[in-house]
Chain A
Amino acid sequence: SQQGEEDPQALSIQEGENATMNCSYKTSINNLQWYRQNSGRGLVHLILIRSNEREKHSGRLRVTLDTSKKSSSLLITASRAADTASYFCATDSGGSNYKLTFGKGTLLTVNP
């Protein structure tokens, strides 16, 4: 079964606006990651947040993690048309395991 589930499934905004995507998961984790996928391409890693961290920034990206609610959010500020892509959260299983489980993704469309 899916460990991470993104919400919403699709999001359409205007350039310059902020975009927020959410991820919920079911079991304890070591870390949670966010990836981006441009249409028809491979995934690109954006940011990793560990279970003992609550917030992390990278450029225009801000990720939060609430382990008590088993949820994370990805905020993209001042969005650009080039941010149009699918965004996936990925979680590990919490143990010594090399597997990641990916959600189904949020499709973000940034209109110029």
Chain B
Amino acid sequence: DVKVTQSSRYLVKRTGEKVFLECVQDMDHENMFWYRQDPGLGLRLIYFSYDVKMKEKGDIPEGYSVSREKKERFSLILESASTNQTSMYLCASSPRQGGAQETQYFGPGTRLLVL
């Protein structure tokens, strides 16, 4: 079974703090993704990576950066947390099979509260 783990289930940070959210997958997947989920807005893609050291902006990258130094690990960084970044953050991974998108496997999510 594919396993995607996220470093924290719940996180409370102060405005202005630098926040690291870590995601690790154990299935040697090439693609990894970070989403945020907010009530009424569904899932929105922040960043994704299709290879080590490669990253592409998603739909809402502002205020975020990412790092992928190893294939199994994809980190989301909030350089200076703000209250509007309070949200549920979901990490996902998928294998690269052809060019089309295949099944994504999700972690349990990190619920971040910025005070």
Contact = CB atoms under 8 A, between A and B. Distances in A.
Chain A interface size, under 10 / 10 to 19 / 20 to 34 / 35 or more: 20 to 34
Chain B interface size, under 10 / 10 to 19 / 20 to 34 / 35 or more: 20 to 34
Interface stretch (B64-72, B79-87, B92-100): B92-100
A45 B105 contact: yes
A40 interface: yes
A96 B100 contact: yes
A92 B103 contact: no
A44 B106 contact: yes
A85 interface: no
A90 B92 CA distance: 13
Interface string A42-61: 11110010000000000000
Given A43-B90, A98-B96, A104 B102 contact: no
A42 B41 contact: no
- Residue of B42, B98, B108, B111 with most chain A CB atoms under a 10 A cut-off: B42
11 contacts: A30-B100, A40-B88, A41-B109, A48-B102, A88-B43, A98-B48, A98-B94, A101-B45, A102-B35, A104-B40, A104-B41
